[in-house]
Amino acid sequence: MDLVLPAAMNFERYAPFGVHGRAVSARKPVKPLGEAWEDWKIALTIGAAVTGDSDLFFGGDPVKACDSILNGWGTSYAERQAMLPAVKVCEWFPKPATEKYAKGILRFDGKPGFRTPSGKIEFVSSVQAKHGFPGLPVYEKAPQPTEKYPLKLLNGTRRPYITHSKTRSDQPYLLELEPESYINMHPADAAARNLVEGDQVWMISPYSKDKVRARVRVTILARKGMIDAQYGWRGDQETQGLIPRKGWDPISGYPCCNDVCVEVVKADAAKNA
């Protein structure tokens, strides 16, 4: 793709329809501004273009995609729209079953029991044990602040206007809103480092030889002893280098988010460090 158009807002989209227990509702969206498309239409159109099968992706039509589900429930998008503002029960929609474990509803093989190898509720995971991991979670003490690295880092915070924008060097409009990466710091921590609002700083981690640049936003929204930083900036503003390459969760592969200790120094002070 050479160009991605802005996605439609929530009030401008058809999909997804709402499911409220056994009640189902549709939407009556307003027309999107400009050439904006809702995300389902974008995804379906790309799917049709990549596979060459327009029918498989409903011709890029979100309502037809919704109807492929709703028709199986004995209703349609148009029928649900006609009911608005009422939201009514979908009569075909099955009522919640009781004792699913006894009826074989939970397991893929249709046998009574739960969806575990033993068919029982497992407080110790036999699946994890089978693959060489502890069957129960193992507590590991998080890294503790030290004199050299006294601040906890919460990596991955967002600003409302750049959520999910992982790179910003090619986004002129976003750079107008925020041209540099900012970190939030408690006033007491800022005062201890002779920092004021807007100062340029370096974040230093024991896991990387490279410092990470940012500007300080002094606020009580940051807890004392902790800073938060955005991810997704490039070059010397990339925070991912502050996170250790080892020690990620061995099961999910997820990195630690706020168990990294760092130090923050004023940019001019760092030149002499």
Question: For residue range 232-265, what is the model confidence (pLDDT) as tens digits?
Answer: 788 899 888 888 877 677 788 777 766 789 999 9
Contacts of 43 (CB under 8 A, 6+ apart): none
Residue range 125-173, pLDDT digits in tens: 999 999 999 999 888 888 899 999 999 999 888 777 666 555 566 677 7
Among 45-49, 94-98, 137-141, which is the least confidently predicted range? 94-98
Band (pLDDT 50/70/90 cuts) for residue 4 is low
- Give the separation between CA 208 and CA 127, rounded to whole angstroms: 35
The three-state secondary structure class of 134 is coil
Output the CA torsion sign for 57, 61, 66, 67: negative
Q: What are the structural domain ranges in the chain?
A: 10-89, 151-270
Q: Give the long-range contacts of residues 92-99, CB within 8 A, separation 24 or more.
A: 93/22, 93/24, 95/22
Among 72-86, 97-111, 185-199, 252-266, which is the least confidently predicted range? 252-266
The candidate with the shortest Cα–Cα distance to 235, out of 188, 167, 185, is: 167
pLDDT of residue 170: 66
Residue range 172-215, pLDDT digits in tens: 777 788 888 899 999 999 999 999 999 999 999 998 889 999 99
Q: Does domain 151-270 have CATH number 2.40.10.340?
A: no
The candidate with the shortest Cα–Cα distance to 183, out of 211, 205, 210, 156, is: 156
The three-state secondary structure class of 11 is helix
270: pLDDT strictly greater than 60: no
> To the nearest whole number, what is the mean pLDDT of the chain?
88
Percent of the chain with pLDDT over 90: 62
Instruction: Give the mean pLDDT of 47-61.
Output: 95
